[in-house]
Structure 1
């Protein structure tokens, strides 16, 4: 097994309708307002953005996210990832009871030279870092969808 390849599966449940959740997930420019680990988003063109991400560990990932599929009707999103990580993110956004379930499946390989060297030793920490980041993302989006626009999530205690 490669120590530089990762697969993450994450499930979010959000108390909002599917259309609203799908719209929020496809609006990358808004991510820094509700997801504290997404530090910046700069659109490169209609389908791509340069995104800077920093979670608990003391390094920032520079990613290029390129939309490959976006189908609101089926709730399917597919994004190619480049930069410090290379791979793909797939998401399925579907109605679930009184809210919406989002299933994320992310397969990436570390491309950053430093992280490739450190990955065999940092693997457990990198997995925990990803889990913490996704928890904060779900909480931030839930607050955003509930109408809490009072402050930036980085301003609040975690």
Structure 2
């Protein structure tokens, strides 16, 4: 197994309508307003952003996110990622009896030299760092949905 290859999945149950959740998730340039680990999103054009994230550990990850799929009917938003991460990320928004289930899937290879150097000993810590970031993202989205 390549120590620089990661697959992540997060599930966010939310007590909000799927359309409202999807509407927030499709506006990546607004993520820094409600997700503190997303430090900056620079809009390059209608389908491309530069994204800078930083969770608990003292390093930034910067990547370009290019829209690969936007399907409101299916509740899917997918982006191809390049830069410090190479791969893809996908949001899938589905209705539940109590609101919405958001599923986040990501498959990437880390290309940032610092993280590659620490790939083997740092892997468990990097995974925890990602989990903490995603947990904070859910909390931030939940709070943001209460205001819109």
Q: Is TM-score (shorter-chain normalized) higher than 0.5?
A: yes
Match of 2:70 in 1: 70
Cα deviation for residue 91 of structure 1 reads 2.0
Asked if 1:16 corresponds to 2:16, the answer is yes
Q: Deviations over 1:73-105 (max 9, x none)?
A: 110111111110111112210101121101111
RMSD of aligned Cα (Å): 1.0
Alignment of 1:52-91 (within 5 A): 52-91=52-91
Listed as ranges, the gaps of 5+ residues in structure 1 are 149-158
Aligned to 2:49: 49
2: distance between equivalents of 1:90 and 1:41? 17
For these two proteins, the number of residue pairs brought into alignment is 148
* SS of residue paired to 1:42: strand
Structure 2: stretches of 5+ with no match in the other structure: none
Give me the whole-angstrom Cα distance separating, in 2, the residues matched to 1:32 and 1:90. Answer: 18
Give the TM-score normalised by the residue count of structure 2: 0.97
Farther-moved stretch of structure 1 (139-148 vs 125-134): 139-148
| Partner secondary structure for residue 127 of structure 2 | helix
Q: Please state how far the C-alpha of 1:125 moved relative to its aligned partner.
A: 0.4
Deviations 1:38-72 (A, max 9, x none): 00110111101001100000001111111110111
Which has the higher mean CA deviation after the structures are superposed, 89-98 or 20-29?
Answer: 89-98
Indicate whether 1:147 and 2:109 are aligned. Answer: no
Q: Distance in 2 between matches of 1:121 and 1:35?
A: 28
**Which position in structure 2 is the counterpart of 1:138?**
138
Q: Match for residue 127 of structure 2?
A: 127
